[in-house]
């Protein structure tokens, strides 16, 4: 009866799947890709299916042997036959146990291998997507593709395939035996099938809706916990004093999960009760009709027992095979969702003949650069968690994913070792320029050249090795200070780490941490103050020692004393290196060799601080309104870190 219980669970799973997948079509290309994934495992799949067939055959052989014990041994009183056949049943049980273990081994090897192949492929592909992809895709949706959908896809090769093969073999063998020995029994048992089929279908429809709703509610509950347990979310809840309201909302959501869980449990029980009841009725019918046939001499007693056991094993396979399309299509839909991510184009493609950037100091030249942020396709929309329509902000012409150009005709040249300061209002295009220099995107017009090489013709690894970036809000992994620094240069020695921290004016801070370099900085580095985190990020940049440096107002979180010290450290450490700085402070602008004023995606003025002031125009206005040093009364007190008291300036 254990086999029967397993079949019953497979049947239940089929009924709980969304029947809408029946209407889903899978194109030939998808089948071809699935076959390609299975090709490395074809030998293991053949062995696995062979074991499934043997296991199903053993499940049919056991009742027949038990019937033979009664007819050939017990009734005639032949002890030898009883012992011999009982021994065969025992050996068959041991063999069946071994087959089950071997079947499980092959199943896990194939399933886990497929999960590994798909998961690593998706991870590698996603890692190479542009930044715009991550600004729109939900992190939770990506994780679901890597976990739930990948696991659902592998079920096509393990549980679904096993269920189909075993049910077909069991149905053919068991039904064939019953049909050959007592057709009337098979017909009598099939009369009861509607008594099981109709309630099961109704329960299945209800269970399908409940299961889908349960997944939605659990996902909502999980997302809420993730947001509130995040450092930033917890801080927001605390600062606005909303813990009681949060508790009430969480209890309401948890109560929905509890109630739907109860409904699913009762629907499951109704299903199993119906299955058990109909199976008992079938047994009663078989024993009744079979008993009459045995009395009439048409069947032997042992045959009645064996046929009754076989009949109880027919209902599960019949109903499972009736729903096999739901199982198969559910697995194939998971494949399609995984392929959807793998098929997302990666605009940053390395040229076949890509070259290294030349050794030595590098210049940066933006030559007639125009850029329009790419629109996203339907594949990405499915990862956004919401349906983007024509009226949504993400679809508007002025958005980052719209059709309006973010940059137009930008011509700027920065000589080796020079500092270029980009100034302008927020949203003017300054960060877009730095993103193109770091090759986070490729220009749609013109070219970005470093060392005379168009970045589209350079090796990506070479660009990332030679160009270093520190953003206004530097990110830290939830790891130690040491691990965050070594991300820039894994082979760096302890002395290199200390030197970089010292140059960034943060060595004393790190030494005062509970475990020094081995202190975990927390989620996004929240255990450090804004100024401390920024200085550690600068140390990471110095450790990398790039030839081209991009600073998106990297000193914005520093107090005046730390800023001056870090500026001196940067001047010493970055001597001979080309720097592009998004500047909001006059001190940064004054020291630049070249200033570019960016407005509405265009460079409208270039020159030195003195030259631009003498010219008048946009820079002079910007200098008066935004770049002038704050009055002494507004300046931070010596030793104070404004990042600990006020939010950082908005990133451009």
Residue 387 has pLDDT above 50, yes or no: no
Residue 578 has pLDDT above 50, yes or no: yes
Burial of 131 (0-12, 13-18, 19+ CB in 10 A): exposed
pLDDT in tens, 301-359: 888 888 888 877 776 677 667 666 666 666 677 777 788 888 887 777 888 888 899 98
Say how far apart CA 438 and CA 549 lie, in whole Å.
Answer: 9
Confidence of residue 632 (pLDDT cuts 50, 70, 90): very low
Percent of the chain residues topping a pLDDT of 90: 15
Q: Which of 90-104, 114-128, 279-293 has the lowest mean pLDDT?
A: 279-293
* 2-342 CATH: 1.20.1560.10
Residue 16 has pLDDT above 60, yes or no: no
Q: Are 510 and 516 in contact (CB under 8 A)?
A: yes
Which CA distances in Å does 260 have to 13, 217, 266, 270? 17, 9, 10, 15
- pLDDT of the residue at 485: 92
Structure token digits, residue 435: 């993103």
Say how far apart CA 616 and CA 618 lie, in whole Å.
Answer: 7
Average pLDDT over residues 379-384: 62
- pLDDT of the residue at 22: 46
Can you list the alpha helix ranges (DSSP code H) found in 357-459?
378-384, 430-437
pLDDT in tens, 187-212: 776 777 776 666 666 666 676 667 66
Say how far apart CA 33 and CA 39 lie, in whole Å.
Answer: 10
285 compared with 254, residue with greater pLDDT: 254
Structure token digits, residue 160: 């679904």
pLDDT in tens, 61-80: 888 888 888 888 888 888 88
* Cα–Cα nearest to 501, from 469, 541, 466: 541
Residue 145 has pLDDT above 80, yes or no: no
Q: Are 108 and 325 in contact (CB under 8 A)?
A: no
Q: Are 383 and 141 in contact (CB under 8 A)?
A: yes
Helix pair 183-191, 243-295: axis angle to 10 deg: 150
CB atoms within 10 A of CB 417: 16
Residue 48 has pLDDT above 60, yes or no: yes
Confidence of residue 2 (pLDDT cuts 50, 70, 90): very low
Burial of 25 (0-12, 13-18, 19+ CB in 10 A): exposed
Write down the domain spans for the chain.
2-342, 364-376+403-474+547-644
Structure token digits, residue 481: 């200070």
CB atoms within 10 A of CB 361: 15
Q: Are 652 and 582 in contact (CB under 8 A)?
A: yes
Residue 213's φ and ψ, nearest 5 degrees, are -65, -40
Average pLDDT over residues 589-611: 90
Would you give the distance in Å from CA 634 to the centre of its chain? 46
Same fold, 2-342 and 364-376+403-474+547-644: no
Q: Are 492 and 572 in contact (CB under 8 A)?
A: no
pTM: 0.69
* 364-376+403-474+547-644 CATH: 3.40.50.300
Q: Which of 1-15, 187-201, 471-485 has the lowest mean pLDDT?
A: 1-15
Say how far apart CA 65 and CA 67 lie, in whole Å.
Answer: 5
């Amino acid at each position: 009866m254990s086999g029967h219980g397993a079949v019953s669970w497979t049947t239940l799973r089929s009924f709980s799947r969304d029947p809408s997948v029946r209407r889903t079509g899978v194109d030939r290309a998808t089948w071809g890709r699935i076959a390609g994934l299975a090709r490395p495992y074809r030998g293991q799949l053949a062995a696995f299916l062979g074991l499934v067939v043997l296991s199903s055959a053993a499940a049919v052989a056991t009742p027949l042997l038990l019937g033979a014990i009664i007819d050939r041994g017990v009734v005639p009183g032949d002890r030898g036959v009883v012992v011999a056949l009982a021994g065969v049943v025992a050996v068959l049980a041991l063999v069946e146990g071994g087959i089950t273990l071997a079947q499980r081994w092959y199943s896990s090897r194939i399933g886990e291998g497929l999960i590994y192949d798909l998961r690593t492929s998706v991870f590698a592909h996603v890692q190479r997507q542009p930044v715009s992809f991550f600004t729109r895709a939900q992190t939770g949706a990506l994780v679901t593709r890597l976990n739930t959908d990948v696991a659902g896809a592998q079920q096509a090769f393990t549980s679904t395939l096993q269920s189909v093969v075993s049910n077909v073999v069991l149905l053919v063998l068991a039904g064939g035996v019953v049909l050959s020995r007592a057709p009337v029994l098979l017909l009598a048992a099939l009369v009861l099938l509607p008594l099981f089929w109709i309630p099961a279908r109704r329960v299945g429809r209800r269970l399908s809706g409940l299961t889908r709703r349960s997944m939605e509610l659990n996902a909502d509950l999980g997302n809420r916990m993730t947001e509130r347990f995040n450092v930033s979310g917890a801080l927001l809840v605390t600062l606005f004093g909303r813990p009681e309201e949060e508790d009430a909302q969480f209890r309401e959501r948890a109560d929905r999960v509890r109630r739907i869980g109860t409904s699913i449990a009762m629907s499951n029980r109704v299903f199993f009760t119906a299955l058990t009841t109909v199976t008992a009725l079938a047994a009663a019918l078989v024993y009744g009709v079979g008993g009459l046939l045995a009395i009439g001499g048409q069947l032997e007693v042992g045959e009645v027992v064996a046929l009754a056991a076989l009949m109880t094993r027919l209902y599960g396979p019949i109903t499972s095979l009736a729903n096999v399309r739901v199982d198969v299509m559910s697995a194939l839909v998971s494949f399609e969702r995984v392929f959807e991510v793998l098929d997302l184009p990666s605009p940053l493609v390395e040229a076949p003949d890509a070259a290294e950037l030349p050794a030595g100091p590098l210049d940066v030249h933006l030559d007639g650069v125009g850029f329009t942020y790419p629109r996203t396709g339907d594949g990405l929309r499915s990862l956004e968690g919401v349906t983007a329509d024509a009226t949504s902000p993400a679809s508007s012409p002025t958005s980052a994913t719209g059709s309006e150009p973010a940059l137009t005709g930008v011509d700027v040249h920065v000589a080796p070792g020079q500092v270029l300061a980009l100034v302008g209002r927020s949203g003017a295009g300054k960060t877009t320029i730095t993103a193109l220099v770091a090759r986070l995107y490729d220009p749609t017009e013109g070219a970005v050249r470093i060392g005379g090489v168009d970045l589209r013709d350079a090796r990506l690894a070479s660009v990332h090795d030679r160009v270093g970036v520190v953003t206004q809000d530097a990110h830290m992994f939830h790891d130690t200070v040491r691990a965050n620094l070594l991300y820039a240069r894994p082979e760096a020695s302890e002395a290199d780490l200390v030197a970089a921290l010292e140059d960034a004016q943060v060595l004393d801070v790190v030494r005062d941490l509970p475990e020094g370099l081995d202190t975990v900085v927390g989620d996004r580095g929240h255990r450090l103050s804004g100024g401390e985190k920024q200085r550690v990020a600068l140390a990471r940049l110095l450790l990398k020692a790039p030839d081209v440096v991009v600073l998106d107002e990297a000193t914005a979180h520093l107090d005046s004393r730390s800023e001056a010290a870090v500026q001196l450290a940067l001047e010493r450490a970055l001597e001979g290196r080309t720097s592009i700085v998004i500047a909001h402070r006059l001190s940064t602008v004054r020291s630049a060799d070249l200033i570019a004023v960016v407005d509405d995606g265009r460079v409208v003025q270039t020159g030195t601080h003195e030259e631009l002031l003498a010219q008048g125009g946009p820079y002079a206005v910007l200098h008066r309104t935004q770049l002038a040093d704050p009055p002494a009364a507004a300046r931070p007190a010596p030793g104070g870190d404004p990042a600990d008291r006020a939010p950082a300036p908005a990133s451009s």
